[in-house]
Amino acid sequence: MANNRCSVLVCQGTGCVSGGSEHIYNALKDELESSGHDEGISVKRTGCHGFCQQGPMIVVEPRGVFYTKVKTDDVPDIIKSVLPGGKSLDRLFYRDPVSEKAVTHYHDIPFYIKQERTILKYCGYIDPEEINDYTEIGGYAALRKAITWMTPEGVITEVKNSGIRGLGGAGFPAGRKWESCRNAPGDVKYVVCNADEGDPGAFQDRSVMEGNPHSVIEGMIIAAYAIGADKGFIYVRAEYPLAVNRLKTAIEQARQEGLLGDNILDSDFSFDMEIFQGAGAFVCGESTALVRSIEGKRGMPKAMPRPRTTEEGLWNKPTLLNNVKTFANIPLIITNGAGWFARRGTEKSKGTAVFSLTGKVVNCGLIEVPMGATLRKIIYDIGGGIPGGKSLKAVQTGGPSGGCLPAEMIDIPVDFDSLAEAGSIMGSGGLVVMDEGTCMVDVARYFLDFNRRESCGQCIPCRLGTRQMFEILDDITKGKGRPGDIDLLDRLSKSIKRSSICGLGKTAPNPVITTLRYFRDEYDAHIRDMRCPAGVCSMK
């Protein structure tokens, strides 16, 4: 980048590509070349900036001029604007939805100012298909530091001291998991990255893989060094072809640079990894099901009692499974130290949380805030509030395993423990905003429909109970609710939770439990008065 006068960065995340950003990128390149003005101007592909809704997006560096909703027709004008004497294009600036004022620079948009982008920091700035872009921002320095200066035990101590908890949903302390995997007896060990991202309505892991794939790979290599593994897998959902391609390219480049393979960085540590594509089953995000799926079996969770995956995972060898974002944090922790990481967040949840902010909110997109930020800050300061002058009704976190919190609770801090206390879960990062036009019974029905379809069927209460709950909810939304329904839902919830062997069943009733707790009157209106207050259900 050094000898360039300017760079035109074109987002190539899944969202922007759907808006035609690939054509825009190609048109920019062609037009620049044929005009003979390409000296000093480079056109680069980047990953997601997180503001999908405004895509396709272009950022012109070094000044950070920010264009939104760009079309291929805008290309000639964009080129003129970056030539000497050119002026920025007013019509492509982002407009504040409230004041309608144009905002010219990336750094001045409220959506970004109020965030603390840490693992997302370079998503949207670097070319994810160029390993040099990653090393220029300090990439692979953490790996070098770990291998050259630190013992495996030292790495684990650093991870433990940082306080980082797994970002896949359950929030298990990562350092402790690493330590037990290191201490598990056996010569052969595996590192697996969980990129199944099953929560429908969440795309944060996809964006990290598409925007900064090397950060995940580097985190995995460091983990392998720490626990003593020589082989790794990234388990990516089938629906993410772009992420798969970016990771493939990144793995290949890392091999060429001697960062993967035998004798990494000329040490005696060897490690390599491959990608395994999931095949569309939510339950495969569960650790034992994921392991079976890689082994070529039906992805069903192992029955209880079962050994921990850290002791008996893939092919019955000790296996370390962490989420995409957990791994992406590791290079930062090693480079900057545990203390740096622990500075952010709350007492028991350190670091940042990444959310896919979607639903009835003005600014949809990918956000990153310190653990403990309030829902109010996320929805109003970053999200810009509720569109169309409507009022907030509820916030859903944790996807099909989580719950819906009412508008009155938006001042609670968002971290693992306070969300759990309120009856929801942190989950892996879906955050769906609901307004007065959303029916909470319909939402509960929706999630039970999802869980019923995804139940693997091993445990009868999970297989039949979720179906029965779904049918009751479906009846209620069709005006066929009966007086005893709520009691029955309550009883079914308890028995499914008690007798399911995996997290899917144990959490499947949660969307019903929380909506019953906080929105009981809506159920009553459906059952007693045959009325859907939000006007969503057909009632017939």
Partner 1 sequence: MEEEFVDRILASYKGERNELVPILQEVQENLGYLPEKAMIDIARFLGVPGSHVYSVASFYAQFRTLPLGKTRVAVCRGTACHIRGAPLILHEIEDAIHLKEGETSGDLEYTLETVACIGCCALAPCIKVNMDVAGDMTPEKAKELFKGNGNSNGGNRGE
Ligand X SMILES: Cc1cc2nc3c(=O)[nH]c(=O)nc-3n(C[C@H](O)[C@H](O)[C@H](O)COP(=O)(O)O)c2cc1C
Residue 428 near ligand X by CB under 6 A? yes
Both structure tokens of 67: 């264009």
| 322 lies in the binding site for ligand X (CB under 6 A) | yes
Q: Three-state SS string across 469-509, please? A: HHHHHHHHHCCCCCCCHHHHHHHHHHHHHHHCCCHHHHHCC
Residue 446 interacts with ligand FES (CB under 6 A)?
A: no
**Stretch binding ligand X (CB under 6 A), from 152-160, 164-172, 209-217, 522-530:** 164-172
**By CB under 6 A, is residue 159 in contact with ligand X?**
no
Number of C-beta neighbours around residue 475 at 10 A: 16
Asked if residues 231 and 273 have their Cβ atoms less than 8 Å apart, the reply is yes
The whole-angstrom separation of Cα 325 and Cα 232 is 16
Q: Which is nearer to ligand FES, 203 or 416 (CB)?
A: 203
Among candidate residues 39, 109, 41, the one with its CA nearest the CA of residue 81: 41
Task: Look at the chain and count its residues.
Answer: 540
Residue whose tokens read 């991870």: 159
Which helix (H) or strand (E) element contains residue 245?
A: helix 241-256
Q: Shortest gap between Cβ of 130 and ligand SF4 (angstroms)?
A: 18
Which residue's C-beta sits nearest to ligand FES? 201
Q: Which amino acid is at 183?
A: N
At 27, give phi and psi (nearest 5°): -65, -40
How far is CA 48 from each of CA 1, 7, 51, 117, 360, rounded to the nearest angstrom? 20, 17, 8, 13, 21
**Residue of 337, 503, 531, 536 that binds ligand X (CB under 6 A):** 503
Build a one-symbol-per-residue string for 274-293: x at contacts with ligand X by CB under 6 A, - elsewhere: --------xx-xxx------
Instruction: Indicate the DSSP class of residue 303.
Output: P
User: Is 194 among the residues that bind ligand X (CB under 6 A)?
Assistant: yes
**DSSP bridge partners of 93:** 67
Q: Which residues contact 480 (CB under 8 A, 6 or more apart)?
A: none
Q: Which is nearer to ligand SF4, 415 or 454 (CB)?
A: 454
Residue closest to 228 by CA, chosen among 320, 290, 314, 165: 320
Shortest reach from residue 456's CB to ligand SF4, in Å? 3
Task: Tell me the closest approach of the beta carbon of residue 18 to ligand SF4, in angstroms.
Answer: 8
The secondary structure of residue 322, as a DSSP letter, is E
Helix, strand, or coil (residue 537): coil
Q: Given the complex with ligand SF4, which of 168 and 228 has the nearer CB atom?
A: 168
Size of the site for ligand X (CB under 6 A): 23
Contact characters 182-211, ligand FES, x per CB under 6 A: ------------------xx----------
- Give the x/- contact pattern for ligand X in 76-115, rule: CB under 6 A: ----------------------------------------
Round to whole Å and give the CA distance between 429 and 398: 7
Residue choice 24, 504, 513, 527 for contact with ligand X (CB under 6 A): 504
Residue range at the interface with ligand X (CB under 6 A); choices 124-132, 169-177, 263-271, 337-345: 169-177
Closer CB to ligand X, 32 or 508, in the complex: 508
Q: Which of ligand X, partner 1, ligand SF4, none interacts with 49 (beta carbon under 5 to 8 A by kind)?
A: ligand SF4
Q: Nearest CA to 167 among 374, 414, 407?
A: 414
One residue of 13, 163, 168, 175 binding ligand X per CB under 6 A: 168
Q: Total residues contacting partner 1 (rule CB under 8 A)?
A: 55
Residues that bind ligand X (CB under 6 A): 166-170, 172, 194, 196-198, 282-283, 285-287, 321-323, 326, 428, 502-504
Residues that bind partner 1 (CB under 8 A): 14-15, 17-19, 51-53, 55, 197-203, 206, 238-241, 276-282, 293-300, 356-360, 364-366, 396, 399, 430, 432, 434, 438, 443, 446-447, 450, 456
